[in-house]
Chains A and B, each alone.
Chain A
Amino acid sequence: MEDGIHRSLGLTDDELDSIIAILGREPNHLELAMYAVMWSEHCSYKSSRVHLKRLPTEAPWVLVGPGENAGVVDVGDGIAAAIRIESHNHPSAIEPYQGAATGVGGILRDIFTMGARPIALMDPLRFGPLDDPRSRWIAEGVVSGVSGYGNSVGVPNVGGETVFDETYKGNPLVNVLCLGLLPTERLVLGQATGVGNLAVLLGSTTGRDGIGGVSVLASAGFSDEETDSAKRPSVQVGDPFEEKRLIEACLELLDAGLVVGIQDLGGAGLTCATSETASRGGMGMDVDVTQVPRREEGMEPFEVMTSESQERMLAIVEPEGLDRVLEICRRWEIRASVIGKVTPGPATGDADGGRLRILDGWDGEVLADIPAASLHEDAPLYQRPCVAPPAFDEGGRVLVTDQPVPQSDDPGAELLELLADTRWVWSQYDHQLFLNTVEGPGGDAAVLRLKHPATNADTGRGLALTTDGNHRWCAVDPRAGTALTVAESVLNLACVGARPLAVVNCLNFGNPEHPEVMWQLSEAVDGMAEACRAFDIPVIGGNVSLYNESLGADIDPTPVIGMLGVVDRLERRPPGVGLVDGGRLLLVGVTQPEVSGSRWARNRGHRGGHLPVLDHEIHLAVAGVVRQLVAGGLVAGAHDVATGGLGLALAEMAVRSGLGVSVARVADAAELFSESPSRVVLCVEPDLLTTVENVCQHAGAPVSRIGVAGGDRITVKGLLDVALADAAAAWADRIPAALGSGTAQD
């Protein structure tokens, strides 16, 4: 074999030695290509796995934890919820529309692979600054891609985030979360069992698109524009119409009980799907590569086995059910080809079995012959060096700075620059399909009616979903910042009356070969683990995206938390981020006048310091009482205090309701813009004021009266006084002015 070819496929010399030891011989080119994709960072989590083990993953309601295609929890009434979050950062940086579109397609397959019908998507998006033309191009393309694919495939997009920041210039973060529902008894796993069972490839033809996507794109950083555009052929192309028919066909196959196991084809394509189903079932598999329908002529076996062509699934079926499988696929106009057969393995007591063999015709030449499990279980595990950057102190936890605390020149103007309505993004997404969306995008969390996926019967309960990330907090202190992020999600759910059930996470970090990046990752995992343990929320799935860097600079660490909650009695719409005229404003929780890590401080050039402290007990008390008040219909408006502090929370409530606020008892800009946790602003009808205060005091949640809603100005006594109309214009115009007018404008 050609010397050094493994390196061009992304394998190290040591990794090649491991492969030789596993096989007892030199691998051929096809085998090498298969190991290269499966042992890539993207597929193997080889840098992060040692850390992820520290996350709490168990709770009585968890049906499937991390490691499967999606996490699954029991949500009662015979219904299970499958949830997953993923990143499509690198493809989206190169080819924004298709990168984002195929991100949606991929995560949908992860969900219906579990037997669940996808019912909601969320897209946490992070782009470079709005004044950077390339970042604007990426943002427009990504939003169009999410819109174009998601709307057509017919899954509502109910929320997410849109963040613009210098740190994502050149390397946007395009994360996508999907939630699906299934009858609890229909849960299926991606495994192959039963010697002689058939592996049927469903969906699209296989082409040269996306070859090496996981190893070429997702497991390396970006350098300059010329080499980046050369990577464009590694980005896949999506077809939502094919995916829609694939979803319907697969769910019908599952309903009919015709499937033993099913697995989507995502990163690493057929190599991953065949080896994963075989090794999960403790079996082997013979794959006849000539049976794979091709999109173009002259494709080499290694191209067929590593292509990431979209909209494909691998179903394991019994031979006697094949005709019915083919009939259902014909009805949905889905291509179906038998490409593999399950062979004996450890599960059948055959210690020498469990081989994944790639054949040139069923009785033809053996092109590859490797232990299926070795592609997963023997993937290298790296305990990469973790070193806090020199500027960090106090046991390497905190970015200590000698910068003076920033001073405010004009709090009113500084508040206006924080306002941005993300409607430009989410009005391009269908967020209402399936008639579940009680609270859609733009609020603290989405709320969906919970209907039984088989009978459509309304349970009278709801599910709530939120995603949250804050790179500014995590840049200052990745551990505390991640814990604060989890805490924010808990409060977002509380504001819509929901209690948390499960967390999924998307860890977006820089280059793992940089010791400080591994330190950030390790710290973030510990922060997430601490907070999830304190709040008793299991982590049931996650995705790690590394090599988010551009021109040698790593992004700020950006762990994104997706949190699923349940509303036990969904009798009314949550109050939402709004005000009523004459309503009294209450602040639940206590402000720490600490601005480190805040958006306001970063805008003043301040990086570092100590993040505000998270007190788990107070946080649970605040979240609990807010949930109780919202569920009881005692508040007219509720909004958690997060990015932008109390000032931005009040301003958002004002612009969204078209009512001013008059607030007192805020000492200074630090109190106005501090992002200290465990705080919620409530708007309460005057006659309910003392009731609400009593409920808070009884629950041990600090509460204070801070003002009143009404009028046409946003006033904070002694600090700022701005016209509501100016705030509303700043809020509404910021994104459309930069990204082109929405459809509602002339």
Chain B
Amino acid sequence: MSRRVGVVLFPGSNCEQDVLEGVSLVEGQPEVLWHGDATVKGVDCVVVPGGFAHGDYLRPGAIARFSPVMSAVAEFAAGGGPVIGICNGFQVLTEAGLLPGALQKNRGLKFLCTTVPVRVEATDTPLTRSADKGAVLRIPVNHFEGNYTCDDDTLARLNAEERVVLRYVENPNGSIDDIAGICNEARNVVGLMPHPERAASELLGSSDGLPLLRSLVA
């Protein structure tokens, strides 16, 4: 029985179809979780995909965090369920308090869509368990607010507890300590700015995201 992966759909999400396609590609069983329903429908893993939930109005993720589905996602996470936030999803998870820190505007104050090398720093998370530690993956980023920031104590803890999951080899946005992805203390909630679903085909330029997608259904 393949693993069921729920993909949250807010009004304004736009990467949900791509994540559904990516999950299917690695033989997971994807389904949509509607923002207005306060349930994760018993899935094995939740992905909060990229896009502009609620138009990113006020601040990315600031409105989406109040959606009924997010209380179910928080409960699922508290019970140890794997939750992955990609790009806008990462922003939503920080706004919801499921991950520390915040994503601010890119250094350079411009939207940036490009493919960057990122290094896998930890493999004991639901995003990276099928990846190799130290592997450098070429994965697209696509964001305006991808510049991760947090206070010094949080940064020290993230590093001490090995909770930086992915690091940029070439920092595209000014993120503190080259952070591209982090996890929570329990290591079951992961947020990352790069889009693994966009790196799942050589025809499209890179298949380096496949180990990350496979981790979701492993």
Contacts and interface: CB of A to CB of B under 8 A. Distances in A.
Contacts of B200: 435
B184 interface: no
B186 interface: no
Interface stretch (B48-56, B68-76, B125-133, B149-157): B48-56
Contacts of B108: 741-745
Contact of A428 (B14, B55, B113): B113
Contact of B111 (A428, A434, A572): A428
Interface stretch (B15-23, B78-86, B92-100, B158-166): B15-23
Contacts of B198: 432, 435
Contact of A244 (B12, B195, B203): B12
A438 B206 CA distance: 10
Contact of B112 (A437, A570, A742): A742
Contacts, number: 106
Nearest to B202: A573
Contacts of A438: 203-205
B37 to A, nearest CB: 12
Nearest to B195: A432
B21 A456 contact: yes
B203 A570 contact: yes
A704 B17 CA distance: 47
Contacts of B104: none
B113 A427 contact: yes
B131 to A, nearest CB: 20
A437 B205 CA distance: 9
Contact of A151 (B111, B114, B201): B111
Contacts of A744: 108, 112, 114, 172
Interface in A386-439: 426-438
A116 B85 CA distance: 30
Contacts of A332: 11
Contacts of B142: 151, 430, 432-433
A332 B197 CA distance: 26
A416 B139 CA distance: 32
Contacts of A427: 110, 112-114
Contacts of B54: 241
A153 B52 CA distance: 8
Interface centre among A239, A431, A433, A438 (most CB of B within 10 A): A433
A241 B113 contact: no
Contact of B55 (A239, A430, A431): A239
B12 A241 contact: yes
B173 interface: yes
B173 A435 contact: no
B8 to A, nearest CB: 15
B49 to A, nearest CB: 11
A573 B202 CA distance: 8
Contacts of B111: 147-148, 151, 428-430, 743
A154 B113 contact: no
Given A245-B11, A245-B12, A449-B203, A434 B172 contact: no
Interface size of B as a range: 35 or more
Contacts of A433: 14-15, 18, 142
Interface in B176-205: 195, 197-198, 200-205
B17 A241 contact: no
A290 interface: no
B107 A746 contact: yes
A240 interface: yes
Nearest to B21: A435
A244 B14 contact: yes
B170 to A, nearest CB: 8
B176 to A, nearest CB: 15
Interface in A730-746: 741-746
Given A428-B113, A742-B112, A743-B108, A244 B52 contact: yes
A154 B204 contact: no
Interface size of A as a range: 35 or more
A104 to B, nearest CB: 14
Interface string A235-252: 000011110110010000
A746 B170 CA distance: 12
B159 to A, nearest CB: 23
A152 interface: yes
Contacts of A151: 52, 111, 113, 142, 144
Contacts of A240: 52, 55
Interface in B110-125: 110-114
A743 B198 CA distance: 21
Contact of A429 (B21, B113, B140, B205): B113
B14 A154 contact: yes
Given A570-B203, A743-B106, A152 B52 contact: yes
A514 to B, nearest CB: 39
Contacts of B113: 151, 426-432
Contacts of B106: 743
B66 interface: no
Contacts of A435: 18, 21-22, 197-198, 200-201, 204
A240 B106 CA distance: 21
A333 interface: yes
B45 to A, nearest CB: 20
Contacts of B21: 435, 456
Given A434-B17, A743-B172, A154 B52 contact: yes
Interface in B1-27: 11-12, 14-15, 17-18, 21-22
A152 B110 contact: no
B118 to A, nearest CB: 15
B46 to A, nearest CB: 21
Nearest to B24: A456
Nearest to A431: B113
A243 to B, nearest CB: 10
A429 B205 CA distance: 17
Contacts of B55: 152, 239-242, 244
A371 B201 CA distance: 56
Nearest to A332: B11
Contacts of B173: 743
Contacts of A573: 202-203, 205
Interface string A81-103: 00000000000000000000000
Contacts of B14: 153-154, 244, 433
Contacts of A152: 12, 52, 55-56
Contacts of A745: 108
A206 to B, nearest CB: 20
A217 to B, nearest CB: 27
Contacts of B112: 427-428, 742-744
Contacts of B15: 154, 433
A733 to B, nearest CB: 15
Nearest to B112: A743
Nearest to A439: B205
Nearest to A239: B55
Contacts of A431: 113
B168 to A, nearest CB: 11
Contacts of A154: 14-15, 51-52
B172 A432 contact: no
Contacts of A436: 204
Nearest to B146: A743
In the A-B complex, the 10 residue pairs with the closest CB atoms: A241-B55, A154-B14, A743-B108, A743-B112, A152-B52, A743-B110, A743-B106, A428-B111, A147-B111, A435-B18
Given A151-B113, A430-B113, 16 more contacts: A151-B144, A241-B56, A244-B52, A427-B113, A432-B142, A432-B198, A433-B18, A434-B17, A435-B197, A435-B201, A435-B204, A437-B204, A438-B203, A570-B203, A573-B202, A743-B106
11 contacts: A241-B11, A244-B12, A244-B55, A427-B110, A428-B111, A436-B204, A438-B205, A742-B108, A742-B110, A743-B111, A744-B114
